[in-house]
Chains A and B, each alone.
Chain A
Amino acid sequence: MDSALLLELSINGACTGMMYALVAAGIVLIYKTSGVANLAQGALAMTGAYVAWIASTLVGLPMWIGAPLAALVMFGVGALIERLAMRRMIGQPLIMAIMLTMGLEIMLRGVMPGLLGGTVKKIDIGIPNAPIIAGDILINRTLLIGGGVSFAMIVASILFFNSRLGVVMRAVSDDQTASWSVGIRVERAIAVAWGLSAVMATTAGLLWGATQGVDWSLSLLLVKALAIAILGGLDSLPGVLIAGVAVGVIESLATGIIDPVIGGGSREVVASAIILATLLVRPHGLLGREHIERV
């Protein structure tokens, strides 16, 4: 096996994994504060990308204004979802709240394509296609920048948990009732989490949309992101980072090493098997907090 190829695949895989991890980080953010696994994260990414497309193509703003504007709008959308829907599910069985996010996913998947048309839209974030060449290795510029941006955003959100608002959110994730009793506005903390996770989704939607175009298929990012979030431990942001890179690299290498042997796309199966094996050893994900159960 060609070692340069393996290195190239690993770098590409790590960057791709990081871009998946950005979607997963949004899921973790919401799970950490409210305990709900947000199944609409992929649809949020899609919606964010459409909003950015409206800003840049329909309105004609340059992307460096359009993208932050889209993020801002999506923060509002995220907070609004919490206010209008999720808040009313507090105290109800968790699985019902999760189901609600699935209803949201179906709805969001219809709104933007319905209004703007189902054909795929081009979004240009100004990254040239020309690769970076290092000897025999070719590094994909879009992936490198996408991975870098994702890494930066996840690290920023880890750091955010040390700020005042972040400490509040940590308290909420520890114990909602206790936070309430010391005067923390739990709903506001959850709303902020939804807003931030919508911003992350928008960024991810832009990065992915730049490669594949913007259409409904962006919402399919959810499945991979959910796998990464669970592998990393649903309540751990650093876990997401590690799991993202691990899944990305493993999938990439599986494509390079196993596929030619068995003649089929094995990456999904290999990734599933590894996730399954990891969960058997660590039932709460790589860095997830063990839930102490009382009888």
Chain B
Amino acid sequence: MKRRTFLTAAGAAMVGMQFPIRLASAQEKVIRFAMPQDFTRVYTFVTVEYSQGQRDYISMVNAKGGVNGYQILADVTDHANDLPRALEAYERAKAQGALLVDPLSTPVARALVPRATADKINLITAFSGRSDAADGETFPFVFPMSPNYWTQAGLLIDFFRQQDGDLKGKKICFVHIDTPFGKEPIPVLEALAAKQGFTVQAFPYTPPGNDQSAIWPQVRRAKPDWVVFWGAGVGQTVALTEAIRNGIPMNRVSSSVWLSESDMDVVGRAQAAGVIKLEPCASGRSPKLIQDIIKTVIEPGKGAGDKAKVGTAYYNYGVMMAALMVEGVRKAFEKAPNGPIDGPWLNAGLTSISNFEAEGLIPPTTVTTTDHQGGGRCRIARWDGAKFAPATDWFSANQDVVWAEIKKSTDAFKASGK
């Protein structure tokens, strides 16, 4: 009997689930953002905080009356980095009339590019997806709106140059996860090496990177002037731990935007002091925008998650991206107040974001129809044992090399006949 009860229950549950699908918002004044993200697989390390930041910012905008009387609806689901699930979520978003999709996953973003372009839905690929999507002419509906990995590599190299005066004859070790994402910066690093006279030595480690004990003794023996490690999630903490164990001076070790406070907790806050990361936006709770969120959303108890996470690096990335999206909506209303509210309408708004600073949270960002990267500005921050302290102001560098790489890549994309 038990067996039959289970089967009946499972069957009934399966059928029952089909019903709530299309009950979503009728024709109220709502702008729908779809945020299918990876909460349970590869991107777990960032998604919880990133999504929390996005939702808190959108709650704040809505609490203040929305944009032009329109409420913003953030539809958050889990795609677990699995393509069929992501495609289902994308099709659902499209059917429900979402204006943009933010999948926060490189494989998903890459797979969605042809569909989003054909369907004229804005695809946000912050810190993920194709780096060459910065070229708005080739990818009109794909918006990184954040410094891509080529820019990030270029900025790090420029920071090394600022520190050492000249990089001629220096040696830079690049420790990276052995995936297309990890190998991405290599062409830019090599181009800069040829230009500025330093040498790059690449050390790939196998994904997911929980065991790098064979890599770092080699890095140590190479006696590098600077070390850049490139990975995400568990690979980052292990890389940093191994660097400490091999006695590599922390103030010569750097990484991309993928380092957070919880990584530092795992490595040991004091031990990691000195390590360098890139900040696409300010971290901590001091920026005015974060203070506003705390006042209007967190303190009344309407926050989307753990209060302790407010103001962490990845939380602020979420706020940054949500702020850019909402700014796009604002601009779209300025350009065409009466709509029709659809993908191309928001596209026009997003491409007219100019010198947007999110009240000091992010560098001045200008998105145009040609540049979807937003200018490629970042700042360098050092972990001081308790927080990431900015070491430079917002700056941009080596964009010529980056754009040469972008053009090379988009040319290949166009040649492949779409």
Chain A residues within 8 Å of B, Cβ to Cβ: 2, 5, 8-9, 12-13, 15-16, 109-110, 113, 117-122, 129-131, 138, 140-143, 208, 211-213, 215-218, 220-221, 251-253, 255-256, 259, 263-265, 267-268
Interface residues on B, range: 35 or more
Q: List 29 A-B contacts (CB under 8 A).
A: A12-B213, A16-B214, A118-B40, A119-B44, A119-B48, A119-B309, A120-B234, A120-B237, A121-B266, A122-B266, A129-B245, A129-B271, A131-B245, A131-B246, A138-B247, A140-B245, A212-B241, A212-B266, A213-B237, A213-B263, A215-B44, A215-B45, A215-B234, A217-B208, A220-B210, A251-B214, A259-B203, A259-B204, A263-B202
- Beyond A138-B220, A217-B234, whether A113 also contacts B44 by CB under 8 A is yes
Instruction: Say yes or no: is B339 at the interface (Cβ < 8 Å to chain A).
Output: no
Within 8 A of A (CB), among B28-45: 39-41, 44-45
Asked if A256 and B39 make an inter-chain contact with CB atoms under 8 angstroms apart, the answer reads no
Chain B positions within 8 Å of A122 at CB level: 265-266
Asked if B178 and A265 make an inter-chain contact with CB atoms under 8 angstroms apart, the answer reads yes
Chain B positions within 8 Å of A256 at CB level: 214, 218
- Beyond A129-B244, A129-B271, A264-B178, whether A110 also contacts B262 by CB under 8 A is no
Contact digits for B305-336, partner A, Cβ 8 Å, 1 yes 0 no = 01001000000000000000000000000000
Closest 3 A/B residue pairs (Cβ): A265-B178, A213-B266, A255-B214
Cα A221 to Cα B211 in complex, Å, equals 10
Instruction: Say yes or no: is B238 at the interface (Cβ < 8 Å to chain A).
Output: yes
Of A113, A119, A121, A252, the contact of B213 (CB 8 Å cutoff) = A252
- Beyond A119-B45, A120-B266, whether A217 also contacts B40 by CB under 8 A is no
Instruction: Say yes or no: is B143 at the interface (Cβ < 8 Å to chain A).
Output: no
CB closest chain-B residue, reference A253: B214
Cα A208 to Cα B213 in complex, Å, equals 12
Chain B positions within 8 Å of A217 at CB level: 208, 210, 233-234
Give the distance to chain B from A104, nearest Cβ to Cβ, in Å: 16
Asked if B241 and A264 make an inter-chain contact with CB atoms under 8 angstroms apart, the answer reads no
CB closest chain-A residue, reference B244: A129
Within 8 A of A (CB), among B110-137: none
Chain B positions within 8 Å of A143 at CB level: 213
CB closest chain-A residue, reference B264: A122
Contact digits for B244-284, partner A, Cβ 8 Å, 1 yes 0 no = 11110000000000000011011010010000000000000
Contact digits for B35-60, partner A, Cβ 8 Å, 1 yes 0 no = 00001110011011100000000000
Give the distance to chain B from A18, nearest Cβ to Cβ, in Å: 12
CB closest chain-B residue, reference A4: B221
- Beyond A5-B217, A138-B246, A208-B210, whether A118 also contacts B48 by CB under 8 A is yes
CB closest chain-A residue, reference B233: A217
Give the distance to chain B from A169, nearest Cβ to Cβ, in Å: 31
Instruction: Say yes or no: is B215 at the interface (Cβ < 8 Å to chain A).
Output: yes
Chain A positions within 8 Å of B271 at CB level: 129
Instruction: Say yes or no: is B205 at the interface (Cβ < 8 Å to chain A).
Output: yes
Chain A positions within 8 Å of B208 at CB level: 217, 220
Of A12, A15, A119, A129, the contact of B262 (CB 8 Å cutoff) = A119
Cα A69 to Cα B44 in complex, Å, equals 28
Cα A264 to Cα B177 in complex, Å, equals 10
Chain B positions within 8 Å of A138 at CB level: 217, 220, 245-247
Cα A12 to Cα B212 in complex, Å, equals 10
CB closest chain-B residue, reference A114: B40
Asked if B237 and A264 make an inter-chain contact with CB atoms under 8 angstroms apart, the answer reads no
Give the distance to chain B from A133, nearest Cβ to Cβ, in Å: 9
Give the distance to chain A from B90, nearest Cβ to Cβ, in Å: 23
Give the distance to chain B from A263, nearest Cβ to Cβ, in Å: 7
Chain B residues within 8 Å of A, Cβ to Cβ: 39-41, 44-45, 47-49, 178, 202-206, 208, 210-211, 213-215, 217-218, 220-221, 233-234, 237-238, 241-242, 244-247, 262-263, 265-266, 268, 271, 306, 309
Specify which of B39, B47, B233, B234 lies most central, judged by the most chain A CB atoms within 10 Å of its CB: B234
Give the distance to chain A from B248, nearest Cβ to Cβ, in Å: 11
Cα A252 to Cα B39 in complex, Å, equals 32
CB closest chain-B residue, reference A109: B40
Asked if A211 and B238 make an inter-chain contact with CB atoms under 8 angstroms apart, the answer reads yes
- Beyond A140-B245, A217-B234, whether A13 also contacts B206 by CB under 8 A is no
CB closest chain-A residue, reference B309: A119
Asked if B234 and A212 make an inter-chain contact with CB atoms under 8 angstroms apart, the answer reads yes
Chain B positions within 8 Å of A252 at CB level: 213-214
- Other A-B contacts than A13-B214, A138-B217, 9 sampled, CB-CB below 8 A, are A16-B211, A120-B266, A131-B247, A208-B210, A259-B203, A259-B204, A263-B202, A265-B178, A265-B205
Chain B positions within 8 Å of A211 at CB level: 210, 238, 241
Specify which of A109, A138, A142, A221 lies most central, judged by the most chain B CB atoms within 10 Å of its CB: A138
CB closest chain-A residue, reference B238: A212
Asked if B214 and A267 make an inter-chain contact with CB atoms under 8 angstroms apart, the answer reads yes
CB closest chain-A residue, reference B46: A119
Chain A positions within 8 Å of B245 at CB level: 129-131, 138, 140-142
Chain A positions within 8 Å of B205 at CB level: 255, 265
CB closest chain-A residue, reference B202: A263
Asked if B213 and A13 make an inter-chain contact with CB atoms under 8 angstroms apart, the answer reads yes
